[in-house]
Amino acid sequence: MAITGCGGQGGDAARPSDSSGLWDRTFVSADDAGRQLVPGTRVRLTFTPGTVAAEAGCNHLTGRLAVEGDRLVVTDVGGTMMACSPERMNQDTWLTTFLQQRPRWELDADTLVLTTGDDRLRLVDVRSAEPDRPLAGTRWSLESLVEGESASSVPRGADVRLTFGDGRVEGSTTCTDFDGAASVGQGTISVSRLTTRARKCAAELEALDEKVRGRLSGEISFRIRGDKLALTRADGRGMELRAAP
């Protein structure tokens, strides 16, 4: 991530006359020198018309977005309520504050620079920084459950994971190990004939088990961006997962 004091601007980046280059793109913090993030974290911003989704290492944040010339106007920021380390939660707070300071934006191909009065944040398109992981053979770990437009964090102690390959899916909900058939189409996965091996869990983890297995049957849409996998059912229920290290 590059966050530096806002001195001379420099560089050849040009401010576009409209915001069309932002939409439906995800940018992650660059790896060059500057403010150090908490180890193992990156800033991630996803732009769609009217909305920005953000991550800084803990919660999934969303806010309303308007573009006024060379300014991003972000309001009504909210998100999940995951319990993280104080360092990660402080980083969330910092990013929320930064985005709500009406940062100037400059987009040059795959590089996005956001600038406030005090800070400068340089990001790159995720497809340049983090090529899409393959669906098959990647170990995917659950980060949040999706219900329509809202997302909720997983309980502490949960270890939900999925692996696809050779027409199969296998994994664990923490309480249940499972495997079954998985037919991959164009942007869809059809899961069937799951066999399960359950074990006793705490009530909170058993509730999670039921929700995960309820989302992992029939036809599911999938989308991969960088190291993130989104699984979504037709009824709006889904899961957000990240490739495990």
Q: Report residue 79's pLDDT band, with 50, 70 and 90 as the boundaries.
A: confident
Q: Which residue has the tokens 């930064």?
A: 98
Q: Which residue, among 184, 187, 175, has the nearest Cα to 221 in the 3D structure?
A: 187
Write the pLDDT tens digit of every residue in 149-193: 777 888 888 999 999 999 999 999 999 999 999 999 999 999 999
For the chain, the farthest-separated pair of C-alpha atoms sits apart, in whole angstroms, at 61
Q: Output the pLDDT for position 39.
A: 86
pLDDT tens-digit series, residues 181-206: 999 999 999 999 999 999 999 999 99
Query: What was the pLDDT predicted at 85?
Result: 85
Determine the 3-state secondary structure of 226 from DSSP. coil
Per-residue pLDDT for 15 more than 60? no
Q: What is the pLDDT of residue 226?
A: 86
**Tokens of residue 55, six digits:** 């991550």
> Which residue reads 């058939």 in tokens?
181
Q: What is the pLDDT of residue 30?
A: 84
Q: Which residue has the higher pLDDT, 33 or 244?
A: 244
Domains of the chain: 14-128 (2.40.128.270), 139-243 (2.40.128.270)
Non-local CB neighbours of 88 within 8 Å, separated by 6+ positions:
38, 41, 56, 57, 58
pLDDT over threshold 90, residue 13: no
Q: What are phi and psi of 174, to 5 degrees?
A: 90, -45
List pLDDT tens digits, range 19-77: 889 999 999 998 763 467 888 888 999 999 999 999 998 888 999 999 999 999 999 99
The most confident of the ranges 3-7, 88-92, 113-117, 158-162 is: 158-162
Within 111-216, strands assigned E span: 111-115, 119-125, 139-147, 150-153, 161-165, 168-172, 176-184, 188-198
